[in-house]
Amino acid sequence: MAVSMTQSVEQRIESLRRILRQHNHAYYVLDKPSISDGEYDKIYQELVALEAQHPKLITPDSPTQRVGDAPLDHFEQVTHLNRLYSLDNAFNTNDLQAWRDRLVKQLGEEAAIEFMAELKLDGLAISLMYEDGLLRYGATRGNGQVGEDITQNLRTIRSIPLKIPVQGTAAPPKKLEVRAEALMPIASFLRLNEDRRKAGEPEFMNPRNACAGSLRQLDPQVPASRNLDALFYTGIIIEPGPDTPTITTHQAMLDYLASLGFKLNPVRQHCTHLDDLEQTIAQWDTQRHSMPFNSDGVVVKVNDLRQQDRLGYTAKSPRWAVAYKYPPEVKPTKVLDIELSVGRTGNITPVAVLEPVILAGTQVQRASLHNFDELGEKDVRIGDTVDVHKAAEIIPEVLRVHLKQRPQKTKAVEPPATCPVCDAPTMRKEGEVALRCSAPKTCPAQRANRFEHWVSRQAMDIDGVGPALLEQLMERELIDTPADLYTLSVNDFLTLDRIKEKSAQNAYTSIQASTDRPLARLINALGMPHVGKETAVLLANTFYSMDALCRASDADLVAIDGVGPKVAESIVTFLADPDTVLLLEDLKAAGVRMADEKPETKVDASHPFFGKTFVLTGTLPTLGRQDAEEKIRAVGGKVSSSVSKKTDFVLLGDSPGSKAAKAEQLGVPSLSEAEFLAQL
């Protein structure tokens, strides 16, 4: 469409932008497309052409500028104007009643308390700042006080307006902070994992991790390709404008945000009494599973903002809000088969193949039965109807068998006498429940799993080299041991099926980058029996070099707090094996780092965390789990995987699992990330 004689180029560009913003709002926020894709593309391309001819007229809020920045070297830090708090949890109606009673006590018996309930979304908390209606920056929650500036990635999310109001003439506040949950729809998550599986890349654990990983990419093209969304849940008017209304309730704030063009959580309800609230929570327990996003609870807030001000905050949470957490969803399904899986150390694990069932928003078809003792105790058989759930909303688990529905003449699955993959005899060491294949050096399954472990994130962290790629490399005899990975060239990868230049170069670069991993990762990557990432860190922090570790005796190892005789024997035996000796020599020749720099100063025994045992649960706002564990060990602390009476602290992140409840039951103190970092 040509620009008319009476309309300037600048006016036409602004008109096109306004039209596109309105259509984007209808499509991405209201879910009501107002124009065909072809018509939209025609308008968009006209704008692109005009901006190309007049680059000085390009503005950051233009619809053409959602993806355009070059990759960053790192994320800058942002100090939040208003702290982002975490929420206390309620797990049942008694907890809700106790919370309300505390509110009444603080506000006074005569106070009428009303609530706003919103379905709790399992995503990444973000904060965005708008000045004079323009998006200035967006940041992660971080530790609540300081987050990371991920503006260029948030701009790729179509439901986040670059300019407000999207439609209408009312002037926006001069300065407005809004908060939202960035999300990956379940359908997008499943497609992403399918693509990564086909490409031989590691899959994401759940949509929340996939969303967080996408938004922390330095290249904005990555989040732009992953169909992310954002649902807004509150706003703070920092500096009002001439048309900004006076807002006294949370419900009114949500209505105001919607009028500005922000996409809200569609599942929300105003509740005048606690009974209404409890009925709403019960109703949503079923409704949440039909949502396009994962949800594990309900966020409840006092509706009156003046009452919120009076109630205030604790050190980590607002007193006027609570997160009600639903119990894990349990569903019945049928066991179609019981397969036997062989792991990298030879463990043979029974796995239930299930009739597909949707749990916590994703399809479940397999569930580990861990070992043959558990298989026998639960008495799971092919054809049984069983109850399954997701432990911590992530790991599928068989809970129990419906014995009354058991078909006639079913047989229990017995422990095999030979390996299901290579037919070598099976064995079980005294005092162990694990049944193992006796041919670790020749069993194809063990070799494949050892390679997969080597490239995994907790080991050498080699991105872009997944199971499918490794399988081809082994089939073509390009690799026999992990050291062979470091001799591969780009041309070697190009000989494989469905591998193009970019993928080949990425795989080669990732492998070469892994040569400089810390010693603990190398020790973990070796896959010694009974040595996981925790023990690997202990060994690295004790010996500082692979040579010193290889010279260590049983007595040297047992002297380490956390290493027992059984683990010590396993380490000495493994490292003395001629194949291991040769592997380490080849790795050293390939340039793989074999030592860490030994610190000059000793750990301060007076540090409050010295000698203390931590358990981590949930997702920490700014620290990766590995980072947090390293910080704990650096000051002489210990990390355990389970809560017990011996636990000193629980480091509590977002969406914690059952460990948080157990810690509360045992009276184990919990720390938020902010509290942990302050004491650290």
pLDDT of residue 123 exceeding 90, the answer is no
CB 431 within 8 A of CB 462: no
For the chain, give the mean pLDDT: 85
CB 221 within 8 A of CB 67: yes
Range with top average pLDDT, 35-44, 195-204, 330-339, 384-393: 330-339
Residue 332 binned pLDDT confidence (cut-offs 50, 70, 90): very high
CB 478 within 8 A of CB 484: yes
Report d(CA 199, CA 507) in Å as an integer. Answer: 11
The model's pLDDT over 434-483, given as tens digits with 9 standing for 90+, comes to: 899 998 888 999 889 899 999 988 799 898 898 889 989 998 999 999 99
Report d(CA 664, CA 638) in Å as an integer. Answer: 20
Report d(CA 257, CA 165) in Å as an integer. Answer: 9
% of the chain exceeding 70 in pLDDT: 91
pLDDT at 300: 96
Report d(CA 620, CA 80) in Å as an integer. Answer: 17
CB 270 within 8 A of CB 325: no
pLDDT at 198: 66
Residue whose entry in the numeric block shows the structure tokens 């980072």: 627
pLDDT at 208: 83
CB 229 within 8 A of CB 185: yes
pLDDT at 94: 92
Question: Rounded to 10 degrees, what is the CA torsion of 243, 249, 254, 255?
Answer: -60
The tokens describing 474, both together, are 């082994």
607 bridge partner residues: none
Burial class (CB in 10 A: 0-12, 13-18, 19+), 378: middle
Buried b (16+ CB within 10 A) or exposed e, 607-644: eebeeebbbbbbbbbbbebbebbbbbbebbbbbeeebe
Length of the chain: 680
The tokens describing 543, both together, are 């010996």
- Within 13 Å of residue 633, how many CA atoms lie on the same side as its CB? 21
Phi-psi label, residue 200: left if phi above 0, alpha if psi -120 to 50, beta otherwise: left
Q: State the pairing for strand pair 348-359/330-342.
A: antiparallel
Distance of CA 15 to the CA centre of its chain: 41
- Tell me the angle at which helices 274-287 and 93-107 cross, rounded to the nearest 10 degrees: 140
Considering the candidates 42, 56, 105, 120, report the single residue annotated as catalytic.
120
pLDDT at 292: 86
Does an H or E element contain 213, and which? helix 207-215
Asked if 198 is an active-site residue, the reply is no
Q: Give me the sign of the Cα torsion angle 411, 415, 418, 420.
A: positive
The tokens describing 202, both together, are 């590691």
The tokens describing 587, both together, are 């790795």
Q: Rounded to two decimals, what is the model's pTM?
A: 0.52
3-class SS letters over 1-24: CCCCCCCCHHHHHHHHHHHHHHHH
Where does 119-185 have alpha helices with state H? 151-154
User: What single string gives the DSSP state of each residue in 242-285?
Assistant: TTPPP--BHHHHHHHHHHHTPPBPS-EEEESSHHHHHHHHHHHH
The model's pLDDT over 65-107, given as tens digits with 9 standing for 90+, comes to: 665 555 555 788 888 889 888 888 888 899 999 999 999 999 9
What value does the mean pLDDT take over residues 497-512? Answer: 90
Where does 436-545 have alpha helices with state H? 444-455, 467-475, 490-494, 501-513, 519-525, 533-543
Burial class (CB in 10 A: 0-12, 13-18, 19+), 197: middle
